[in-house]
Amino acid sequence: MFFKGKKIWIIFAILWFLAFLSACGYRFAGGGSLPSGIKSVCVTILTNRTSETGVENTFTNDLIYEFTRNGRIASIDKADALLSGVVKSMSIETISRSGAHTSIERRVTITLDLKLTDNDGRIIWSAKGISGNEAYVVASDKLSTEQNRRNAISTLSERLAEKVYNSLTEDF
């Protein structure tokens, strides 16, 4: 009999907690709609202004994935808007050392400028200086270090694509 009463209190506490979460306005980021009634977007290949070959494809593909994942992608002839932009800059800096000339860890920082235009060419949304960074380990051989750098760029690209999508779909 004691256990049955304890179960009821546990169930009551769980229900109260769930009701509290729903009442506080909690929601997942980026769950809103696109600005100006836009339903679908076509993502164009970004322009690359860095010395990193292919980085524009990585960022474009991750943006396309993010919009596809959320059911908001369309071909250029069927889209309500066009997302375009520039991979503006990329820098790499050492963030930890084991000696005066030996890096242990580096950080890659990338900056994007993006804009969303409607079919009439009007700018609906734009953001300059969207940036992020990701650290990577400097290995004892150049091939491993290069792979770690590429992995850091890929991780950063995914994170920035999600950030862009969330900022486009925030309902204020």
Taking the CA of residue 96 as centre, how many other CA atoms within 13 Å lie in the half-sphere pointing to its CB? Answer: 7
Taking the C-alpha atoms of residue 27 and residue 129, their distance in angstroms, rounded to an integer, is 27
Supply the pLDDT for residue 86: 98
pLDDT in 10s for each residue of the chain, 172 residues: 445 567 777 777 777 666 665 544 444 444 578 888 899 999 999 999 999 999 999 999 999 999 999 999 999 999 999 999 999 999 999 999 998 889 999 999 999 999 999 999 999 999 999 999 999 999 999 999 999 999 999 999 999 999 999 999 986 4
Taking the C-alpha atoms of residue 147 and residue 113, their distance in angstroms, rounded to an integer, is 26
Domain ranges of the chain: 35-167
CA separation (Å) from 15 to 66, 124, 146? 34, 42, 51
What class is the 35-167 domain? Answer: alpha beta
Looking only at the bridges linking them, the beta strands covering 103-118 and 123-137 are antiparallel
3 state SS of 87: strand
Taking the C-alpha atoms of residue 93 and residue 107, their distance in angstroms, rounded to an integer, is 5
Taking the CA of residue 6 as centre, how many other CA atoms within 13 Å lie in the half-sphere pointing to its CB? Answer: 3
- pTM comes to 0.79
Write out the E strands in 13-101.
Answer: 41-43, 47-48, 81-97
Q: Which of 117, 110, 116, 57 is nearest to 88 (CA)?
A: 110
Taking the C-alpha atoms of residue 87 and residue 89, their distance in angstroms, rounded to an integer, is 6
